[in-house]
Amino acid sequence: MNLSFEDAIAAAEIVLRGEEAVIHHLRQTIGQSLATVLHILLPHSGQVVVSGMGKSGYIAQKIAATLTSTGTRAAYLHPAEAVHGDLGIYGEGDPTIILSKSGASEEVLRLIPLLKRFRSKIIAVTANGHSELARHADVTIDIGLQGESDPIGMVPTTSAVASLAVGDAIACALMRAKGFTRKDFAAIHPAGQIGRNLLLSVQDIMTPLEGVACLSGGETLREVVIVMTEKPLGGALILNKNRALTGLITDGDVRRALKIDKSIDKIFAKDIMTVDPRIVVSTVLLGEALEVMESQGSPVYVLPVVDGARQVVGLLRLHDAYRKFSSF
């Protein structure tokens, strides 16, 4: 087989262009249908059921998960399993979002009369606005698909992206309509880095000042190394007599200084410190602190922490911000 990387890359670019085009189409056309969807979903106090067969089923599972994690209770229903007991997830009036590219999948169509028994409003997401699914739906979002973008025109590529985008659009519209906030998001994401970023403040995980290497600026490089070895956090704070920050020395600063062709007893802390380092207030959320540490083109691995009066109270390490284990 002759493999042409140029042809392969061209095929990849065609997929991306096709997916870009269908998203652009949705931006232009989804407004009215989405408004109708919101009128169905917003007043409903129960859950939203999301269903789809095959690749559409995988997208449906993701949409259900996104809805659940953003304040709208949702569950995925496998169309084929529905008639074997899974219809038991329905409460009276629970609406259903059904994903089907063709709008003619047999397993999906069999659901329709069953869903009517539960008074379920049907929201169809399909590439065929004239399909049987669309005819029976209470509202149809036509993804406007002109064809798949893969080399053989059959693989769910563009249609999958479009369906996923519709689900994200519905979820985000509901978030805004419900006034869903970061605080709400934190309440249902207490574990992992997301939970840490939204629930913990800098003062919860910083190293307090007594545990940090602190210098005045007049110490020799030899003394700097000794103090930073005794308190190995990757940084030393340079403070004046009022405990105000005048500079920061990192392990990197020390390594660079050791390359200087000069006695380490003739190089001083004030010569190698960063005079105006990034800082963070102790009461801000960890996520905000990480933005400070990882912004401005290059990350910093230690960050001086100050209180409301700009007095230094500790040091935050990037390692601690991302540590694997926490109290959650």
- Reported as a single tens digit per residue, the pLDDT across 213-263 is 999 999 999 999 999 999 999 999 999 988 889 999 999 999 999 998 889
| pLDDT-based confidence at residue 325 (cuts at 50, 70, 90) | very low
Determine which of 48-57, 224-233, 309-318 has the lowest per-residue pLDDT on average: 309-318
* CA–CA distances in Å: residue 286 to residues 138, 195, 293: 44, 10, 10
pLDDT at 120 exceeding the cut of 60: yes
Question: Which of 145, 163, 188 is CA-nearest to residue 61?
Answer: 163
Per-residue pLDDT at 328: 46
Q: List, for residues 192-203, the tens digit of each pLDDT value.
A: 667 777 778 898
Q: For residue 248, what are the β-bridge partners?
A: 237, 274
Determine which of 19-28, 34-43, 307-316 has the lowest per-residue pLDDT on average: 307-316
For the chain, give the percent of residues with pLDDT over 70.
94
Find the mean pLDDT for residues 166-192.
85
The domain ranges of the chain are 5-180, 202-321
Architecture of domain 5-180: 3-Layer(aba) Sandwich (3.40)
d(CA 38, CA 36): 5
For the chain, give the percent of residues with pLDDT over 90.
71
Question: Which of 61, 23, 25 is CA-nearest to residue 162?
Answer: 23
DSSP alpha helices (H): ranges in 95-244? Answer: 106-109, 111-117, 132-136, 158-178, 182-187, 192-199, 202-205, 221-230
Per-residue pLDDT at 298: 80
| pLDDT-based confidence at residue 44 (cuts at 50, 70, 90) | very high
d(CA 109, CA 78): 13
pLDDT at 96 exceeding the cut of 80: yes
Q: What is the pTM of this model?
A: 0.70
CATH topology of domain 202-321: CBS-domain (3.10.580)
Neighbouring residues of 96: CB distance < 8 A, sequence distance ≥ 6: 48, 49, 50, 51, 77, 111, 115, 120, 121, 122, 123
User: Coil, helix or strand for 275?
Assistant: coil
Q: Which long-range contacts (CB under 8 A, 24 or more apart) does 119-122 make?
A: 119/92, 119/93, 120/49, 120/90, 120/93, 120/94, 120/95, 120/96, 121/40, 121/93, 121/95, 121/96, 122/95, 122/96, 122/98
pLDDT at 326 exceeding the cut of 50: no
d(CA 266, CA 181): 55
Per-residue pLDDT at 308: 74
